[in-house]
């Protein structure tokens, strides 16, 4: 009888231990980013990872892979769907047609409430993302610093006169072609060599990425044009997200939102410091007057809005334009 009770007690203890172990089982999430470790946004991903671990009590950890070490610039959807990464930036990909034409949009937006703006935008394309097995999770601070650089000073952005200009996607290519230039696609970490070797005459890029890849040395003359709403969303594999507990899902989404708010002032200060440093070392910054910005936006808006209507459908396109109008500068 004693042996029997001992056996039962041992079995109960083992079951409780197994249950506790399962409850505390750790999930590792691989986050892939194109930014390198000297980019201020890397600090944001570190902060996000710390918050996730804290909010989940260690049941979920985030492992960060910088500098496109897991996959290339255009492979975000494939990487997330194929299990190469669990969270990745999603670039312009025709499998997300509405996202393609709205994640970079010709508009002069007020970014004082960028986290709220980006969250509202993510909600608009959430259903489209879900159809591809993706969940919008965290938004890259992107609009603030998406600008233009040239090797020579005094370039007229509206009259590019055949210049080869680095493009990041369809809208930028349309702009470059409309203004008389030729778009050239170059992945972020290949831009320095392209500029140094004369493959491109100009670059469209974010100041943060541009600075972290040390590109002021090869093209020091910046045009601050304020032409875009831009948002690269980092999306998560939906099956992986759905496999988390509801508490863990809440922890991830809360950590993402808190990180965006935490990073915004740090990011903007860092971007401004990069520009100031470059100007002190011989770079230049030409800020377009508002009327010139409006003129350049107007030159592509009709064409691009037709693309938005076609890709998103009139109802969703209207909601997107209403959001842009709400946050207009």
Alpha-carbon span 59 to 26, nearest angstrom: 4
Provide the whole-model pTM: 0.86
CATH superfamily of 27-142+230-271: Bacterial extracellular solute-binding protein, family 7 (3.40.190.170)
Which residues neighbour 165 within 8 Å (Cβ) at sequence distance 6 or greater? 148, 176, 181, 182, 183, 184, 200, 201, 202, 203, 204
Q: For residue 162, which of 197, 200, 218 has the smallest C-alpha distance? A: 200
pLDDT score of 195? 85
Residue count of the chain, please give it.
329
Q: What angle do CA 325, 327, 329 make, to 5 degrees?
A: 95
142 in Cβ contact with 206 (< 8 Å): yes
Q: Are strands 60-65 and 27-32 parallel, antiparallel or unpaired?
A: parallel
Phi-psi region of 178 (alpha: psi -120 to 50; beta: other; left: phi over 0): alpha
Alpha-carbon span 233 to 138, nearest angstrom: 6
The reply to whether CATH 3.40.190.170 applies to domain 144-228+280-326 is yes
Token digits of residue 296: 């350049």
Domain(s) of CATH 3.40.190.170: residues in the chain: 27-142+230-271, 144-228+280-326
Alpha-carbon span 307 to 175, nearest angstrom: 14
Q: Give me the tens of pLDDT residue by residue for the chain, a chain 329 residues long.
A: 445 555 544 545 444 444 444 445 599 999 999 999 999 999 999 999 999 999 999 999 999 999 999 999 899 999 999 999 999 999 889 999 999 999 999 999 998 899 999 999 999 999 999 999 999 999 987 777 889 999 999 999 999 999 999 998 899 999 999 999 999 998 877 888 888 888 999 999 988 888 888 889 999 999 999 999 999 899 999 999 999 999 999 999 999 999 999 999 999 999 899 999 999 999 999 999 999 999 999 999 999 999 999 999 999 999 999 999 999 98
207 in Cβ contact with 270 (< 8 Å): no
């Amino acid at each position: 009888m004693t042996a029997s009770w001992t056996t039962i007690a041992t079995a109960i203890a083992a079951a409780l231990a197994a249950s506790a172990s399962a409850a505390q089982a750790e999930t590792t999430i691989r986050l892939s980013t194109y930014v390198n470790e000297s980019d201020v946004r890397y600090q944001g991903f570190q902060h996000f990872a710390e918050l996730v671990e804290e909010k989940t009590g260690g049941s979920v950890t985030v492992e960060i892979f910088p500098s496109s070490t897991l996959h290339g610039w255009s492979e975000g959807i494939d990487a997330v769907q194929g299990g190469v990464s669990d969270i990745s930036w999603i670039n312009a990909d025709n499998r997300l047609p509405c996202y393609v034409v709205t994640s970079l949009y010709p508009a002069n937006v007020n970014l004082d409430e960028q986290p709220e703006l980006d969250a509202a935008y993510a909600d608009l394309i959430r259903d489209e993302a879900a159809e591809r097995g993706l969940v919008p999770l965290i938004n890259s601070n992107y609009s603030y610093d998406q600008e233009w650089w040239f090797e020579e000073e005094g370039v007229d952005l509206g009259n590019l006169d055949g210049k080869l200009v680095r493009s990041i996607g369809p809208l930028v290519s349309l702009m470059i072609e409309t203004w008389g230039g030729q778009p050239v696609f170059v992945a972020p970490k290949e831009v320095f060599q392209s500029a140094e070797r004369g493959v491109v005459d100009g670059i469209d890029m974010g100041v943060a990425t541009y600075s972290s890849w040390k590109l002021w040395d090869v093209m020091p003359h910046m045009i601050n044009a304020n032409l875009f709403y831009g948002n690269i969303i980092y999306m998560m594999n939906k099956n992986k997200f759905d496999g988390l507990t509801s508490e863990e899902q809440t922890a991830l989404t809360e950590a993402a939102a808190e990180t965006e708010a935490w990073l915004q002032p740090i990011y903007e200060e860092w971007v401004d410091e990069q520009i100031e440093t470059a100007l002190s070392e011989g770079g230049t910054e030409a800020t377009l007057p508002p009327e010139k910005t409006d003129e350049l936006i107007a030159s592509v808006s009709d064409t691009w809005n037709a693309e938005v209507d076609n890709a998103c459908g009139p109802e969703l396109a209207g909601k997107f334009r209403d959001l842009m109008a709400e946050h207009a500068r």
